[in-house]
Amino acid sequence: MRDDQRFEIERAFDLLPHVVGASWAVTWYRLNEIKKPSREEFRNKVIEYFDLLNPLFDSFSDSSGFKEIIGYINQRRNEEIEKIKNGHSMEIEKRYDRYIDYG
């Protein structure tokens, strides 16, 4: 698959974990007045909200023309979740630190 064919999906995965996952997680913690969740709890909540995007990730048809992009989407989704779980998503870690400091 050419880079230009997956460019927009790459950009989306660069943003979705922290724009959707972390933003919704922070809102959930604020509304529940939980000021000091553990880092692991926060990461799991981010993944919970990120997983709500699965219908979007599964939205391309199974026709052969979409086979490569579907594979890339699945691979990238799994990579992002692993990065979040392992603390390697710098944007998620930054959001956690900011929430704990300024909640």
* Environment class of 47 (CB within 10 Å of its CB; exposed 0-12, middle 13-18, buried 19+): middle
Average pLDDT score over residue span 73-96: 97
Domain extent listing, the chain: 3-102
pLDDT score recorded for residue 1? 59
Answering whether pTM is above 0.75, one says: yes
Angle at 51 between CA 61 and CA 35, to 5 degrees: 160
